[in-house]
Structure 1
Amino acid sequence: MEDPASTAKPADLSPALGQPRPPEVVELAHALIHTRQTILPKRLGDPGPDAAQAQAILGAAASAPDHHELLPWRFIVVPAGARDRLADVFATALVERDATATPQQIAQAREKAYRSPLLLLAVVRLRDDDAEIEPQERIVSAGCAVQNMLLMAHAQGFGGALTSGKALSSAPLRALFGLADDEQALCFVNIGTVIKAKPVRLRPVAAQYVSTLAT
């Protein structure tokens, strides 16, 4: 006869919705949120996340708010083998914006493609058949997805940063990543090992950004 204890399902340790979490969970969430900081790509190096860690980082995005469950965002991984193509795009986009760009400036633009072990492009779909969900709500959803990934990377011990720039809206970049007419490149997500830390910046207090509507 089987031992009932050996066949019992693991207990669900997650409290029901609306119930308080254990203090240690709250403390961990507080620590992750308030110790996370932006680490620029030039301060990130190898090793990057392994396959399992990267999957956990990407999976964290799925818990972002998503009104109507449209999944209005996606992420495109830029592997090492594609960095040369991205470097070419950065250089081309710079020359298209500024025909007087110097060789040094072009080289600097190209170099940005090789920073950070894990590099993703965040893309948001601004419009589709569901006209009720406005572009700004879709962008907020994408931002939540990105923050979830940054927090998961931070929990794993990695640093991360978001980078943007004028190249994001350039025709060469849109062509490289195969963006549709209704899609917009939001930013690059950079994740890797922190090779040079920086002081934690002073955070604003809630009173600086919260007000109460008069009754």
Structure 2
Amino acid sequence: MQAARAPATAAGAVDAASAGEWAAALIQSRCTVLPKRLAAPGPDRAQLAAILGAAAAAPDHGELLPWRFVLVPERARPALADVFEQSLLERDPAASPAQCAQAREKAFRAPVLLLAIAALGGAPEIPAAERLVSAGCALQNMLLMATALGFGSALTSGKALQSDGLRRLFALRRDEQALCFLSLGTVASSRPRRARPGMEQYVSELEVPS
């Protein structure tokens, strides 16, 4: 995947028309690349800082910062694998060794792995739905920055996100909810992109009764 380059004028400044075209191209080029299709190298320290920094531009009603991200380094992957396996066995005590191995393997796939967490308590005047929207915007900013830097990315969930073991491992507070994992890496293989829905499928105009 080629890194997206922002257009610039001869003077080095981005003009509005070119910036709009570049932003549209970036948004349309973003697609999900599953963790099993991501390989090393992942973002380096500076690139990861740029990706994480993009989250700070998300809308945040009340400036609550109702989300956070936890990086899962290589040394912590076995502990996460234990959580995945234990969660599977809690749901299905008869799970086979092969199924347990498959559950564990998910912790080791992506070169860079983060857990997205939302804080839904406190400040009752700002509904939980608004906090989740803010977290979603932060994630989308990160996905777009990763795409701009030439990396593949994916958001993944699963029943283990709701397990007590995962809550303990990531020291989630009572008011916090694990939303999804964010995986980043170099695209090793890709599938055909799904067709984007047309605007007519999700846009309508308010009709006011006469």
State yes or no: 1:131 paired with 2:124.
yes
Q: Which residue of 1 aligns with 2:78?
A: 84
Q: Which residue of 2 aligns with 1:6?
A: none
Q: Aligned to 1:190, what secondary structure does the other structure show?
A: strand
State yes or no: 1:57 paired with 2:16.
no
| Offset at residue 198 of structure 1 (A) | 1.7
State yes or no: 1:48 paired with 2:31.
no
| Counterpart selection for 2:22 from 19, 23, 28 | 28
| Offset at residue 12 of structure 1 (A) | 11
Greater radius of gyration (CA): 1
Q: Aligned to 1:185, what secondary structure does the other structure show?
A: strand
Q: Aligned to 1:124, what secondary structure does the other structure show?
A: strand
> Partners of 2:13 and 2:137 in 1: how far apart?
25
| Offset at residue 23 of structure 1 (A) | 1.3
Q: Which residue of 2 aligns with 1:5?
A: none
Q: Aligned to 1:189, what secondary structure does the other structure show?
A: strand
Which 4+ stretches in 1 moved above 2 angstroms? 11-14
> Partners of 1:177 and 1:167 in 2: how far apart?
12
List aligned pairs for 1:23-172, cutoff 5 A.
23-128=17-122, 130-172=123-165
> Partners of 1:103 and 1:199 in 2: how far apart?
33
Per-residue CA distance 1:146-193 (angstroms, 9 max, x = gap): 000000000000000000000000000000000000000000000100
| Offset at residue 22 of structure 1 (A) | 1.7
> Partners of 1:141 and 1:115 in 2: how far apart?
27
> Partners of 1:132 and 1:50 in 2: how far apart?
39
> Partners of 1:67 and 1:163 in 2: how far apart?
26
Per-residue CA distance 1:129-161 (angstroms, 9 max, x = gap): x11111111011000000000000000000000
* Alignment RMSD: 1.4
TM-score (norm 2): 0.92
| Offset at residue 24 of structure 1 (A) | 1.1
| Offset at residue 13 of structure 1 (A) | 5.0
Q: Aligned to 1:116, what secondary structure does the other structure show?
A: coil
| Counterpart selection for 2:205 from 199, 205, 212 | 212
Which 5+ residue runs of structure 1 have no aligned equivalent? Answer: 1-10, 15-20
Which 5+ residue runs of structure 2 have no aligned equivalent? Answer: 1-10
The one-letter code of the counterpart of 1:174 is: R
> Partners of 2:148 and 2:12 in 1: how far apart?
22
Taking only the aligned residue pairs, the percentage that are identical comes to 61
The number of aligned residues is: 198
TM-score (norm 1): 0.90
